[in-house]
Amino acid sequence: MEIIIHDSYKLSEIQEDFRKHFPFLKIEFFSFGPGTEKLFTKEHLIKDTPQTLRDIRHIHFSGPISINGHQKVKTLEDHFRDQYGIEIQVFRKSGETWLQTSVTDDWTLSEQNKKGEEHNHAGFEKPSTEFDEYHEQP
């Protein structure tokens, strides 16, 4: 999968494209003010996903970002930050909650998605996109 990053791209569009390929994972966007410690917590979460990348990033370079199942979570997060000035975190569905994958950032996207699928057997509904059930992984 390839996403072309440009200023008019909406956050929600990136999230939707990502979820089509990895249904048990999601990308969330974060914003940090100058001098703010980069802690990926609810207070730094961007909840207004209809806004565009222009509104949240400090590097306004346009170009492609390739995303595939063999890519490690950390690699994807670093690429968004370093190339495009976009702070993201990948979350994995686990039952009724979303887990921030920070402890398992060395896993590939396919491994993360498979683990999410295993924790979401037939008794659970399809993963929601709500952030209300957010939990950081210990």
According to the model, what pLDDT value does residue 28 have?
Answer: 96
Contacts 24+ apart (CB under 8 A), 41-49: 41/136, 42/131, 42/134, 45/131, 45/134, 46/11, 47/131, 48/11, 49/10, 49/11, 49/12, 49/15
Domain positions in the chain: 2-136
Percent of the chain with pLDDT over 90: 62
pTM (predicted TM-score): 0.82
According to the model, what pLDDT value does residue 73 have?
Answer: 97
Per-residue pLDDT tens over the stretch 10-29: 999 999 999 999 999 999 99
Instruction: Indicate the DSSP class of residue 21.
Output: H
According to the model, what pLDDT value does residue 138 have?
Answer: 46
